[in-house]
Amino acid sequence: MKILVCIKQVLDDIPIRLDERNLWIEAEVSPIYRMNHFDEYALEEALRIRDTHADVTIDVLSVGPVRVSQTLKKGLEMGANEGIHILIEGEGYRSPFEIASLIAQYARCRSYDLILTGIMAEDDMQCQVGPLVAELLEYPCATAVISERLCRDEQAIYVEREIENGRRETLEITLPALITIQSGINRPRYPALSHVLRAKIQSLVVIAAGESTRSKPRDRIVRLTYPQASAKGIVLTGSPREKASEILRILHEKSLL
């Protein structure tokens, strides 16, 4: 069984500011990157499938500039068999449709039985790439998956989706299929030493996404802005002790304490 896990490299939670053209952001200090944590859950779920089924290989894939190789290596350290880097030039925003088109183009003739992605990326929270890839590949798709198991002799997958108000929806979809993974589905494992050592020497498969393969954008960023400072909030000032007394006084006045 061939599994593909699509991962995104995101900036760690460090101070950021708008770039000079207000069309993207830059880190205020040296940037630190890591794997989108929803994709960690997706990769862990793939690893659990491999742990419990025969003959499963896992490719981990990411679209991005050179720096993304570091996160793909982390994927290998967690235990993926192969790392695929779809290399694009430059920093800056790429829309979900562009990313999904590149992933679908790569995956199209490679007969993956199951593709997993995180439900969304932490930085832009669009929840799009997974279902877009599924539609482009004509795979049935289930999003917000909180539990899964293969069934019918690995011809289908049973999933539970998380919907509003703590409820779940259950369904079976035939393979090949794509599922997007909700956080909390599992606890991602620590990398095993054997995988860490292998990752150090294993090369990634690098595919340059040429300009000619760039799909026509369907939307564009007009600009980025900082949110307006709210007129609502009162900033407490003074020493921490003074602020503590002040908030207690305020809450007491409001009969909340």
Q: Could you say which residues in the range 194-253 bind other proteins, by CB under 8 A?
A: 216-230, 232-236, 240-241, 243-245, 247-248, 250-251
Question: What residues from 24 to 43 belong to the interface with other proteins (CB under 8 A)?
Answer: 25, 37
Q: Which stretch binds other proteins (CB under 8 A): 47-55, 84-92, 107-115, 171-179?
A: 171-179
> By the 8 A CB rule, do 83 and 72 touch?
yes
CB of 38 to other proteins, least distance (A): 10
Q: Is 150 in the site for other proteins (CB under 8 A)?
A: no
Contact residue for other proteins among 110, 124, 208, 214 (CB under 8 A): 124
- Cβ–Cβ under 8 Å, residues 49 and 56: yes
How far is the CA of 243 from the CAs of 115, 190, 252, 257, in angstroms?
A: 51, 41, 14, 16
Nearer residue to other proteins within complex by CB, 83 or 162: 162
Among 107, 182, 195, 199, binds other proteins (CB under 8 A): 182
* Contact call for residues 33 and 41 (beta carbons, < 8 A): no
257 touches 51 (CB < 8 A):
no
CA distances 256 to 37, 60, 107, 233, 253, Å, are 38, 52, 57, 18, 8
Residue 28, classified by CB atoms within 10 Å of its CB into exposed (0-12), middle (13-18) or buried (19+), is: exposed
d(CA 25, CA 73): 25
Torsion of CA 5, 10, 13, 18, to 10 degrees: -160
In this complex, which beta carbon is closest to other proteins, that of residue 72 or of residue 177? Answer: 177
Interacting residues with other proteins between 127 and 146 (CB under 8 A): 127-128, 130-132, 134-136, 140-144, 146
174 or 194: whose CB is closer to other proteins?
Answer: 174
Query: Which listed residue (90, 164, 193, 212) binds other proteins by CB under 8 A?
Result: 164
- Least gap, CB of 228 to other proteins (angstroms): 8
Cβ-based nearer residue to other proteins, 90 or 166: 166
How many residues touch other proteins under the rule CB under 8 A: the total is 82
